[in-house]
Amino acid sequence: MKSFLASLSLLLCATLATAADFDWKTRFPQGLVDEAGKTVDLASLKGKTVAVYCSAHWCPPCRAFTPQLVKFANEHKAKLAVVFISFDQSQEKMFGYMKEAKMPWSAVPFKSAGGQAIAKEQGVTGIPTLLVYGQDGQLLTKNGRDLAGLEKLLGK
């Protein structure tokens, strides 16, 4: 019995260590950029819950939700990282939206294969959508727009 518990304990520790070391490059193979198009280090996501925000400037519900998410992200920046997947019509409009809304987060490069793969994998058919991933890279919820529920996931 002691041997079983010791093995279980080692397995749990290994799982937790692996979870903390999730390689976000598997989700974002083209990397991330800021509102000026400069590369953002994927290490900025390490150890955080990651919310993938699918949105566009042309979308009125997105423009209504984005300020709420900006405020929430700023309040929880120690535990939460947001990554923007733009559904805008051009890279210039994407960067303009990021600047106008003062988004304090990075984005996948415009029309990147990684961003499109996540949206397709998760069946994103409408925006705004906020997909929330744990530190281990596993999807926690597709309903991240419920900020009270997201706050509970973050443990605050």
35 within a domain of the structure (yes/no): yes
Q: Report the distance separating Cα 135 and Cα 21, nearest Å.
A: 8
Q: Residue 112, Cα to own-chain centre: how many angstroms? A: 15
**Helix axis angle, 147-154 relative to 60-75, nearest 10°?**
30
63 within a domain of the structure (yes/no): yes
6 within a domain of the structure (yes/no): no
Domain count, the chain: 1
Q: How confident is the model at residue 20 (pLDDT cuts 50, 70, 90)?
A: low
Residue 17 has pLDDT above 90, yes or no: no
Question: Lowest-confidence range among 9-13, 30-34, 86-90, 115-119?
Answer: 9-13
Q: How confident is the model at residue 4 (pLDDT cuts 50, 70, 90)?
A: very low
Q: Are 72 and 65 in contact (CB under 8 A)?
A: no
10 within a domain of the structure (yes/no): no
Q: What is the pLDDT of residues 62-94, one digit of tens each?
A: 999 999 999 999 999 999 999 999 999 999 999
1 within a domain of the structure (yes/no): no
7 within a domain of the structure (yes/no): no
CATH of the domain at 76: 3.40.30.10
Question: Lowest-confidence range among 41-45, 116-120, 149-153?
Answer: 149-153
Q: Are 53 and 128 in contact (CB under 8 A)?
A: yes
Domain of 93, in residue numbers: 22-154
Residue 156 has pLDDT above 70, yes or no: no
16 within a domain of the structure (yes/no): no
Give the CA count within 13 Å in the CB-facing half-sphere of 88. Answer: 21
Tokens of 153: 């996931």
pTM surpassing 0.95? no
Q: Are 73 and 57 in contact (CB under 8 A)?
A: no
